[in-house]
Each structure stands twice: as structure tokens, then as C-alpha cells.
Amino acid sequence: MAIERRTIVYDGPGGPFEGVAVSDGSWDAPRPAVMIVPNVLGAKEQDNLVGERLAALGYAAFVADVFGQGKRTTRESPDPAVYMNELNADRPLLRDRLLASVAAMKALPQADGTRTAAIGYCFGGKAVIDLARAGGDVLGVVAFHGIFDAPGYDYPTPIAPKLLICHGWEDPLAPPEAVTALAAELTAGGADWQLLGFGHAGHGFTDATMARSTRPGFGYDAAADRRSWAAMRAFLGELFEAG
């Protein structure tokens, strides 16, 4: 196994954008492809490592960039959410950048463009749910501790991509009423959806950098991290086998 990374610069509204393709150099044929949409901070090493884990499972991974080339923050930035807030205020722009990112993933020589999916963390979880709502050309999406508010624009129904929502029940950014509202929305939209809730887990439960968080409802949870990854693996296996 020889996991390789390659920087991909691609076009889209407000671009250019800079993603990272991750694959195994020993592959002799295209593989099912999975796009990773990062959290509030944008694409970073943490996301590249997720890409490597996916490549080790046999998937061509693509770390998407929805903020724009060079637009990244850290937790120590004066306003870590500055680029996320711009897209929260313009959900059609987020949608269009997601669609451009899917197109960039499908263009990768390692990717089987007929078998693709997207996963996302926090803001990225919100983004991949929007991708499904928008009828993005993927078979399914997985949201880890995402945000559930509807985008405020009309979208096609039935919602074609399948959805797996992995949710920490103590997440204050997605309280029970937001969860039930999403369930009602997806059901009304004719989606094939499933929701896995983790008791005692909060926002960011997959993020080991938040292991020492003292903020109520936020922090890493090893059990929820492990169980949600296993659920994602089963979901992708079923998705690509069916696809």
C-alpha cells in the first residue's frame, strides 16, 4: 500500500479552490470516491488524514475546499468562523461550491464517477446535507455532528442521495427540536435517510483535538467516534454495492 496525496486546484464560484486527492498508488483501476467537507476551519491536515483512512479502505478520497484557496482559519484566529459565516449567509453559494467540488472529485483519474459519496464534519455535515437536498450527483452522504437548519431555497424532490446522520444527542447546535425538524423535512422530501444518535456525546465528537474541551455539549467522545466510523463504513459498503 502506497498512500499518495495530490493538491488539486479547481474552479467554482468565487474560486479558485484548493483540494487534496488521496489515493493508493498501487491501484490499477478507478475506485469509488468519497468527498470530505471540513469543519468551520476549512481544509487542514486533520482532513487529509481522514482521506488517508478512506484510501486505506479502498476509496479514492477528495478533501474539498468550499471557502477558497488560502482561506483557512485556526481556533486561535480572531474570527475562526469568518468564512463559514459567509456561506451560512448565502446557502445557494454554498450549494454551488459543493457541486463544483463534486465535479472536481469526479474528474480525478482514480475516481469511479458513477460511485461517489460525500462526508462532512460540523459545518461540513451541514454542507453534505445541503448537497443531498440540492440533488448533488452522489449516491449518498454522511454527516458527523452536523447542523440541520434548512437552506431556505426550493430543492428537487424526492431527495435522491441517501443520508446517514451521525448525531451527538447533547449537541447544543442541533437540539432535539432541530433533529425532529430534519427528520420531518427529509421524510417529506422522500429521502432514504437514517439517523444514529449517540447518548452523552456532543458537538465535535469525532474531533480528538477537542478531547480536553470543558465547554458543555462540546468535545471528543471516543465511543461515538468509533461507532460512527463503523456506521459510515457499513453505509458506504451498502451504497457502492447497490450503486
CA distance 87 to 67: 8
Our measurement of the distance from residue 143's CA atom to the centroid of its chain's CA atoms, rounded to an integer in Å, reads: 6
CA-CA-CA-CA dihedral for 196, 201, 207, 209, to nearest 10:
-170
Strand partners, 196: 166
Give the range of the structural domain holding residue 129, as residue numbers without chain letter: 3-242
Q: b vs e for 54-75, b when ≥16 Cβ sit within 10 Å of the residue's Cβ?
A: bbeeebbbbbbbbbbeebbbee
**pTM: predicted TM-score of the whole model, two decimal places:** 0.97
pLDDT averaged over consecutive 10-residue blocks of the chain (243 residues)?
94 97 96 98 97 98 98 95 98 98 98 98 98 98 98 96 98 98 98 98 97 94 98 98 71
- C-alpha cell, 183: 427528520
Domains in the chain, number: 1
CA distance 233 to 229: 6
The CATH code of the domain that includes 106 is: 3.40.50.1820
Q: Which residues contact 107 (CB under 8 A, 6 or more apart)?
A: 10, 113
Output the pLDDT for position 15: 93
